[in-house]
């Protein structure tokens, strides 16, 4: 590892402090460090060279919480650059490296003695007639949701060329296995092992007893046509970016070409994270 990029949760002073310490630690080991632009400005350093940092480094270190990691994963995109997520937030389900494990984990990375988890990402496209309006790349989920005062939405769902059903609900979540423990789980969807080749479609507050979450192959293309008039309906990507929809818009979701590479913690596995972070299986 000759060049490492650092991103941090800018609203967390501890993350900025740790970023400075990691920067000094890496430079002492003759590793070139590139700092995200605003982070470099906050630290009064010149570590931002311009351009896309993920395209110029061998590893990205993310200091913060899951939201920070998810936003960085979208920037990494198709690049085969592993992400080492360090939890400085509250939950830390994806940023599974603790602060106490940070420097031992970096030592292993520099020596090449580490493993990664390849997490599926999803590509989503919004089409309006024959026009492509926007395209999103997500690690967790795509969500179609109505405004607070809007009526239920009819969402006609197709899997490849096969009609699935018309969901009548407050919204719809299309989640990757990684995203299955986020909004999908809160909406009553299943937990999916991140190694499985599938994703899940879960209605939000369905108004029909027969509308329930369904898991589909990661080879499938899920197409949703939203049907409404005069209502506030929006699409969000990973809960961080989005746009309003119009009646008749079509949302297409499929597996992205490449996944996100997350550096694994050497001290715990996925199921231990489930038990400790989500208290899964406790009475």
Please state, in angstroms and rounded to a whole number, the distance separating the CA atoms of residues 76 and 53.
9
Task: Establish whether 66 is a catalytic residue.
Answer: yes
Please state, in angstroms and rounded to a whole number, the distance separating the CA atoms of residues 29 and 273.
31
236 token code pair:
């969000």
Please state, in angstroms and rounded to a whole number, the distance separating the CA atoms of residues 159 and 217.
9
215, containing H or E segment: strand 214-217
* HSE-CB for 279 with a 13 A CA cutoff: 2
Please state, in angstroms and rounded to a whole number, the distance separating the CA atoms of residues 84 and 72.
11
* HSE-CB for 227 with a 13 A CA cutoff: 10
The answer to whether the CB of 157 falls within 8 A of the CB of 168 is no
Which residue in 14, 66, 141, 193 is the catalytic one?
66
* HSE-CB for 145 with a 13 A CA cutoff: 19
The answer to whether the CB of 176 falls within 8 A of the CB of 140 is yes
DSSP 3-state of 163: strand
Write out the catalytic residue numbers. 66
């Amino acid at each position: 590892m000759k060049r490492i990029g650092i991103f941090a949760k800018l609203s967390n002073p501890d993350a900025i402090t740790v970023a400075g310490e990691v920067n000094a630690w890496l430079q002492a080991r003759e590793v070139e460090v590139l700092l995200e632009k605003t982070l470099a400005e906050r630290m009064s350093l010149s570590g931002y060279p311009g351009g896309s940092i993920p395209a110029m480094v061998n590893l990205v270190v993310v200091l913060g919480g899951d939201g920070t990691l998810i936003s960085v994963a979208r920037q990494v995109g198709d690049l085969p650059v592993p992400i080492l997520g360090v939890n400085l937030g509250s939950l830390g389900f994806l940023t599974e490296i603790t602060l106490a494990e940070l420097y031992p984990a970096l030592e292993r990375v520099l020596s090449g003695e580490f493993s990664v988890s390849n997490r599926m990402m999803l590509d989503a496209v919004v089409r309006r007639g024959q026009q492509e309006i926007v395209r999103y790349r997500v690690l967790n989920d795509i969500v179609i949701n109505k405004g607070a005062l809007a009526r239920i939405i009819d969402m006609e769902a197709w899997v490849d060329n096969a009609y699935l059903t018309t969901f009548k609900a407050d919204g719809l979540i299309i989640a990757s296995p990684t995203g299955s423990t986020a909004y999908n789980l809160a909406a009553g969807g299943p937990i999916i092992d991140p190694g499985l080749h599938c994703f899940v479609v879960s209605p939000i507050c369905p108004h029909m007893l027969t509308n329930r979450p369904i898991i589909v192959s990661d080879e499938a293309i899920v197409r949703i046509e939203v049907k409404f008039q005069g209502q506030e309906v929006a699409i969000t990507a990973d809960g961080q970016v989005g746009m309003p929809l119009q009646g008749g818009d079509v949302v297409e979701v499929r597996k992205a070409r490449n996944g996100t590479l997350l550096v694994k913690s050497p001290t715990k596995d996925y199921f231990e994270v489930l038990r400790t972070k989500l208290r899964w299986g406790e009475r």
